[in-house]
A and B are shown apart, each in its own frame.
Chain A
Amino acid sequence: MILAADDIARLVEHMRGLGVAEIEIADGDEMLRVVLPEAMEQSAHTTASAPTIIAATACGLFFPGHPARGTAPSIGARFEAGEVMGVIAVGPLLRPVAAPAAGALTRLLCEPGQRVDFGTPLLAFAPLRSLRTYESERTSDEDRS
């Protein structure tokens, strides 16, 4: 076997840390494919290449970035897993809109300060796994224009 059980455990840990959902390692005739269960669950709802849509988990006013930090994050801005990409203001309380994994913001679906309800789509987000697809699409879009 190309990897010992300990190595695979460490690999899974790294995948979780980096937000990688699926990995395939081939060495000669041997091939190892690791798919995290969270990712399988997620892919049941979304197709693998489509960016994740992040929806509101609170009712309030949505601000990409932070209302006191001025400009909203730009399209393509990278976030680490758990990093706050925006906030929902419920009165004076701000609830986080956190990156579900490492990846990049691909679209803002709400205006800054817009009133949102539970489930309102806020942002489109490309996890690192599909980031390469996203970037190649964007490059080819730019080539065409």
Chain B
Amino acid sequence: MIEMLETPPLNSIQDLGRLGWRCHGIGRSGAMDRVALAAANALLGNEEGAAGIEFQLFPARLRFRADTVFAITGADCAPRLDGHLLPPWWAMAAKEGQELMLSPPRDGLRSYLAVVGGVDVPPVLGSRSTQMRDGFGGHAGRALVAGDRLAALPAQPFTMRDRGGHGALPALQALAAAAHDSASAGEIVLRAIAAAEYGQFDEASRASLWKAPWKVTSQSNRQGYRLAGNVLQRTELVEMRSHGIVPGVIQVPPSGQPIIQLADGNSAGGYPKIGVVIEADLWRIAQAAPGNVLRFVSCTLEEARAAEREIASYLASLRRLAGYCRFPVSEKAA
């Protein structure tokens, strides 16, 4: 149903991730921007965790081998269907043979393509996400290459109320970012909670975490983002045993330059943790490009939960309203 015509490396099938296997050393994987993938699925009436394609490198081109409806979200990659520019965060019907072209985004980093029914690859350990490091899940356990053909799971066919398609208010406009005293325009503010070893860092380092700018370095990918800024130091060096870590953890290796562990991050690590970015803000990191500046602002567990509820409510009302824009077609009539 989808044929990849052109793709740089590192674009892969992802869903919302592989949960429950961390104790066996298998991390979450899944979409870096989980909100964008979930919104694409909401626009189509798919299950929230249906698999789609994560694009992190561009340009990419693909052809629809059957009539379908697709949604594209995440960074605005100026999607063109047979040359016609579509709005960002948009769902649209495609005819067999039509070609979709995605260009490098000017803002943001990762775009998501969902199709009605979701991409049909076999679930492995309960998820269709590609686990690139160990080479399983997704499409043949690897990133997509030109010539790959992907099928979609069966779904109830529908017609769209608007021939022009319908879209979602992008997460960046719909979900307010936290405020930060020193952040200037264009900087990305992330809410974080102090982690277990926070108290081991000296006062200047603790202050730097919340007050200083943190630049995203080019050594940033699905495994983690390495940041550059003030050197973070502990008052005493305590050796630590490896322990389980989760996406969002801000580790501080001996260099004093923090690393945020992300979707393909290690399941365990031994570096001290100064903080953890809340789950509800991880999608903002997914859209941060090398050179962008991150700011951390302290938040409580209650605020973190409220931020998660805000995302859930955005996705739920999007799903409900998008439902009014689709009219089911009975199999007989189709």
Contacts and interface: CB of A to CB of B under 8 A. Distances in A.
Interface of A: 66-69, 80, 82-84, 87, 89-96, 98
A29 to B, nearest CB: 42
A68 B173 CA distance: 7
A59 to B, nearest CB: 12
Contacts of B169: 67, 89, 91-94
Given A66-B88, A69-B76, A93-B318, A82 B166 contact: no
B89 interface: yes
B321 A91 contact: yes
A67 B172 CA distance: 11
A91 B164 contact: no
Contacts of A87: 87, 167
A130 B33 CA distance: 46
A83 B172 CA distance: 24
A94 B163 CA distance: 13
A92 B321 contact: yes
Contact of A94 (B84, B167, B314): B167
Interface of B: 76, 84-90, 162-170, 172-174, 314, 317-318, 321-322, 325
A83 B76 contact: no
Given A69-B76, A93-B322, A96-B165, A80 B84 contact: yes
17 contacts: A66-B87, A68-B170, A84-B86, A87-B167, A91-B169, A91-B318, A92-B314, A93-B166, A93-B167, A93-B168, A93-B322, A93-B325, A94-B166, A94-B168, A96-B162, A98-B162, A98-B164
A89 B318 CA distance: 11
Closest 5 CB pairs of A and B: A96-B164, A93-B321, A98-B164, A94-B167, A92-B169
A96 B84 CA distance: 15
B64 to A, nearest CB: 17
A36 to B, nearest CB: 18
Contacts of A67: 169-170, 173
A82 B163 contact: yes
A92 B316 CA distance: 10
Contacts of A89: 169
B163 A98 contact: yes
A98 B314 CA distance: 25
B272 to A, nearest CB: 39
Contacts of B317: 91-93
A79 to B, nearest CB: 10
A68 B325 contact: no
Given A67-B169, A68-B172, A90 B321 contact: yes
A61 B148 CA distance: 41
A63 to B, nearest CB: 10
A89 to B, nearest CB: 6
A83 B85 CA distance: 8
A35 B183 CA distance: 60
